């Protein structure tokens, strides 16, 4: 296992402005470490637009030294890479020590917009938290995270971002020998519910939790207020566009099937993170499970709101001693906040679905939405295609919808929907245009992404690059991209599973 050492190479210009405030302020929650040397690092993809927003020199990132930094082989001068400690509930069972088993926090950058973000490497080698794993990642899963996170960003959903993927030149044993890779990830913060779970035990002291509360990613609290912790807890499920409850509603409205939602995969910022076993729904099915390790369906799509609330209860438990020294008072205060989750989540989810069917706020006929979901589920209709087909219906083109749901079954619902639009004073043309602005045409279809990743693993990046271009322009119809709107063949969907790549 590599010992920590500062690189002798002059690489400071590669990541100018890199800071290490988390490592400096919360050393008890980190272990200084260095990534494993990459035998033959090759840059597969770099996010030039994101790099520019972080005031990074793209040419420098593409240089030998830059690729060394992005692979974890080279430590920028002045940086203190660390493996972050955290605990977590995994499938409901508590694991007191998890941590970055194959990742390192290189430090923090300040974007051109003034936002402080983490620069994090995934797949950079073993750490003290590896728990017997090799610490490596492989090309397929790292490119999956790159593409899906960028697709989510294009959809407007709060998410971590991908800066680059570097192939290491190392063969890694997974399903046979696969090419190794390192992902460079950008996040508002890597604080997780599991970070607070790790810091909570008295043996580690409440001071660490106090310091965590002051991190920028913990939303909304008045740091001078005696009840600042209740404010913080309240803002996590609220949080503007960044709170976990809001993000959950937005993600669910797009029918993204997030990875297993353990507490170590639930960020305080509300950004979606760790796109290992993840997928988008084709046919609408609330019971859909894609993860190969979710045998009991705990994280089936329809269960995700309840799981998110469960995770927030675990967060609240870590904050109880900080909310009030009297346990009963602390529990009452936290419970009062958590009881608002369902209403908040439902509000964001309902608003998202109303927008998808073109109904402007305020809109309260939830039965109209629920009945549509029932129709889509009963007929196995493609989720993404259905909403674009409804917009086409308003334009007088019935063919796309007729291919998804028999006319005799959906006609009564269409009459109710068009009545609601008329009652709202909404014209057909303007409503269809509004729907097109919120309903994507192009998402990372599972069969398309699977094929692109297989090709990339074999050395052909062209399908990946094309798919990346398509899904980062999700709303703009292009005739040459018509094939990318097609749902996966049923034979593919019935057997499709995702893996985290560890």
**Catalytic annotation, residues:** 264
Q: Is 101 annotated as a binding residue?
A: yes
| C-alpha angle 137-143-148 in degrees, rounded to nearest 5 | 120
Q: Is 102 annotated as a binding residue?
A: yes
Distance from the Cα of residue 184 to its chain's centroid: 15
Q: Is 204 annotated as a binding residue?
A: no
Residues near 437 by beta carbon (within 8 Å), at least 6 away in sequence: 475
Residues near 48 by beta carbon (within 8 Å), at least 6 away in sequence: 58
Backbone angles phi and psi of 44, in degrees to 5: -90, -40
Rounded-to-10 torsion of CA 199, 201, 204, 207: 60
Going by their DSSP bridges, the two strands 30-32 and 82-84 should be labelled as antiparallel
Distance CA 16, CA 493 (A): 45
Owner of token pair 């043996």: 203
Q: Is 427 annotated as a binding residue?
A: no
Distance CA 266, CA 338 (A): 16
Q: Is 99 annotated as a binding residue?
A: yes
Among residues 16, 130, 50, 117, which one has the least CA distance to residue 83? 130
Among residues 85, 63, 86, 87, which one has the least CA distance to residue 76? 63
Long-range (24+ apart) CB contacts under 8 A made by 392-399 are: 392/432, 394/358, 394/428, 394/429, 394/431, 394/432, 394/435, 395/428, 395/429, 395/432
Q: Is 185 annotated as a binding residue?
A: yes
Rg (CA), the chain: 23
Structural tokens at position 354: 């109303």
* 240 C-beta neighbours (distance < 10 Å), count: 11
* 332 C-beta neighbours (distance < 10 Å), count: 12
Structural tokens at position 153: 């960003």
Binding positions for Mg(2+) are 265, 274
Binding positions for ATP are 99, 101-102, 122, 134-135, 185, 192, 274
């Amino acid at each position: 296992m590599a010992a920590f050492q500062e690189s002798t190479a002059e690489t400071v210009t590669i990541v100018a402005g890199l800071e290490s405030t988390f490592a400096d302020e919360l050393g008890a929650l980190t272990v200084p470490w260095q990534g494993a040397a990459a035998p033959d690092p090759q840059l597969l993809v770099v996010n030039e637009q994101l790099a520019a927003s972080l005031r990074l020199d793209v040419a420098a990132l593409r240089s030998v030294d830059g690729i060394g930094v992005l692979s974890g082989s080279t430590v920028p001068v002045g940086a203190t890479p660390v493996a972050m400690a955290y605990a977590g509930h995994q499938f409901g069972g508590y694991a007191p020590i998890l941590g970055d088993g194959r990742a390192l926090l290189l430090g923090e950058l300040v974007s051109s917009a003034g936002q402080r973000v983490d620069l994090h490497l995934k797949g950079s080698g073993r750490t003290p938290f590896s728990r017997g794993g090799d610490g490596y990642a492989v090309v397929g899963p790292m490119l999956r995270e790159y593409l899906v996170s960028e697709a989510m960003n294009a959809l407007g959903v709060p998410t971590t971002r991908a800066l680059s993927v570097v192939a290491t030149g190392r063969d890694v044993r997974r399903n046979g020998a696969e090419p190794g890779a390192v992902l460079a990830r950008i996040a508002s913060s890597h604080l997780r519910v599991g970070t607070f779970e790790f810091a909570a035990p008295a043996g580690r002291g409440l001071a660490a939790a106090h310091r965590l509360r002051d991190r920028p990613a913990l939303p909304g609290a008045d740091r001078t207020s005696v009840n600042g912790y209740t404010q913080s807890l309240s803002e996590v499920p609220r949080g503007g566009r960044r709170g976990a409850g809001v993000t959950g509603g937005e993600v669910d409205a797009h029918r993204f099937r997030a990875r297993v939602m353990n507490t170590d995969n639930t960020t305080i910022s509300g950004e979606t993170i760790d796109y290992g076993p993840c997928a988008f729904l084709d046919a609408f099915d609330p019971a859909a499970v894609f993860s190969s390790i979710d045998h009991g369906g705990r994280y089936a799509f329809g269960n995700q709101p309840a799981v998110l609330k469960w995770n927030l209860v675990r967060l609240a438990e870590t904050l109880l001693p900080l909310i009030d020294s009297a346990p009963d008072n602390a529990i009452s205060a936290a419970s009062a906040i958590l009881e608002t989750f369902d209403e908040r989540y439902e509000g964001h989810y309902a608003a998202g679905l109303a927008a998808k069917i073109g109904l402007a706020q305020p809109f309260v006929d939830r039965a109209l939405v629920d009945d549509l979901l029932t129709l889509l589920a009963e007929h196995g209709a493609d989720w993404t295609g259905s909403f674009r087909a409804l917009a086409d219906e308003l334009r007088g083109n019935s063919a796309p919808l007729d291919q998804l749901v028999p006319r005799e079954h959906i006609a009564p619902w269409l009459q109710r929907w068009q009545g609601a639009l008329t009652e709202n004073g909404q014209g057909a043309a303007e409503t269809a245009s509004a729907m097109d602005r919120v309903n994507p045409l192009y998402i990372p279809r599972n069969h398309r992404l699977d094929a692109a990743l297989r090709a990339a693993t074999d050395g052909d990046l062209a399908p990946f690059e094309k798919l990346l271009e398509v899904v980062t322009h999700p709303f703009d119809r292009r005739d040459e991209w018509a094939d990318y709107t097609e749902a996966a063949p049923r034979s593919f969907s019935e057997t499709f599973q995702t893996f985290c790549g560890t």
